[in-house]
Amino acid sequence: MIPARKTSLMTKQPDEKTRQLHNVYDSQSANETAEIYDGWADDYEAHMAGVGYSHPAMVASMLCRHQKTGNAPMLDAGAGTGIMAEILGALGYPAIFGFDASPGMLRLAKARDIYADLRVARLGEPLDYETNQFAAAVASGVFTQGHAPLSGLNELIRITRPGGHIVFSIARSYLGSAFAEVASELEQQGKWHQADATQRYDSTPMGQDNLMAQVFAFRVE
């Protein structure tokens, strides 16, 4: 995980609904991040809906541009409470596997009764999935400060089939040169190539903060 800074990176107080999100940005360990989400789980969806949280819709829309629908297995990396699976299932991707670092969030995701499989796991660590297991993978709101390191992309590439797509949002300190350097290195290694990208957008447009982000789609080689 990214080391926390001793003071908040925000220049103003965060919106009350996203205060826990800013606590995650400032977390000092993967365990602390998971604990924050465990405590936030029951209120998470209501809070994020209140600020117009747009990552899931943006990621799902990008996936639909590039990955055909059907029963091939899909991975929801950082599944949270299952918002992404709800969207993907309705769009024609019914075979969804998921994982998250927070058992509390996964409890709510399991209650949706959508996932073929759910487990506790963390991006940035080895994932207990077979190589080339998934037709595509998505990660919504995961590659950002205090969450998953960009090194987690290597495992997503490993477990996604050649020709499949990895679609994910990038935000905060990762957005810009930090991600660009990682993406370029993986492309030079012949592991993937960029298929598409959105313009930058505010991921919480109804909140007080401007939490800018961008969604990318890469095709696995």
- Per-residue pLDDT band at 172 (split at 50, 70, 90): confident
- Per-residue pLDDT band at 49 (split at 50, 70, 90): confident
β-sheet bridge partners, residue 117? 97
Question: HSE (CB half, 13 Å, CA atoms) of 7?
Answer: 4
Please, what CATH class does the domain formed by 55-220 belong to?
alpha beta
- Check: CB of residue 45 under 8 Å from CB of residue 81: yes
pLDDT of residue 55: 94
- Per-residue pLDDT band at 58 (split at 50, 70, 90): very high
Q: What's the pTM value of the predicted model, to 2 decimals?
A: 0.87
Helix (H, G, I), strand (E, B) or coil at 220: strand
Q: Reply yes or no on whether the pLDDT at 39 is more than 90.
A: no
Q: Which two tokens stand for residue 183?
A: 């993406």
d(CA 205, CA 185): 32
- In this predicted model, what pLDDT tens digit does every residue of 195-208 receive, in sequence order? 999 999 999 888 77
d(CA 74, CA 138): 8
Q: Reply yes or no on whether the pLDDT at 2 is more than 50.
A: no
pLDDT of residue 24: 57
Least confident of 36-40, 75-79, 158-162, 184-188: 36-40
Q: Which two tokens stand for residue 112?
A: 């949706």
d(CA 132, CA 112): 27
- In this predicted model, what pLDDT tens digit does every residue of 88-101 receive, in sequence order? 999 999 999 999 99
Q: Reply yes or no on whether the pLDDT at 5 is more than 70.
A: no
Q: Reply yes or no on whether the pLDDT at 126 is more than 50.
A: yes
d(CA 58, CA 195): 15
